[in-house]
């Protein structure tokens, strides 16, 4: 049901919920620059702070502030830059 996941020396942490085909997480990120790979589509809404996103092949960072949503296609690597503590809500699939 609930799983706590930690990444990048515990600077990124998420609490993931999975049940009945629903998979979502809420998370918090400390200041830093991070790289991840998405196995499936991720729809992420920033809930506080500011997250800069760069998908594979992009040449410029895109800025997302609270209540703005970005989508990461499945099977894609992406980078995040966080310049203030930020939180998010993410749905998978």
For residue 11, what is the DSSP state?
T
- DSSP assignment of 18-65, as one string? EETTEEEEEEEE-SEEEEEEESS-EEEEEEES-EEEEETT-SS-EEE-
Tens of each residue's pLDDT in the chain, 93 residues: 899 999 999 999 999 999 998 999 999 999 999 999 999 999 999 999 999 999 988 999 999 999 999 999 999 999 999 999 999 999 999
User: Which residues contact residue 42 at a Cβ distance below 8 angstroms, ignoring those fewer than 6 apart?
Assistant: 71, 72, 74, 90, 91, 92
Interatomic CA distance for residues 4 and 61, integer angstroms? 28
State the pTM of this model. Answer: 0.93
């Amino acid at each position: 049901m609930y799983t706590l996941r930690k990444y990048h020396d515990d600077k990124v942490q998420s609490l993931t919920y999975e049940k009945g085909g629903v998979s979502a997480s809420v998370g918090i990120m400390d200041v830093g620059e991070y790289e991840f790979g998405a196995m499936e589509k991720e729809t992420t809404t920033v809930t506080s702070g500011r997250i800069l996103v760069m998908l594979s092949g992009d040449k410029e960072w895109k800025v997302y502030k609270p209540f703005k949503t970005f989508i990461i296609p499945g099977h894609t690597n992406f980078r995040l830059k966080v310049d203030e503590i930020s939180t998010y809500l993410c749905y998978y699939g």
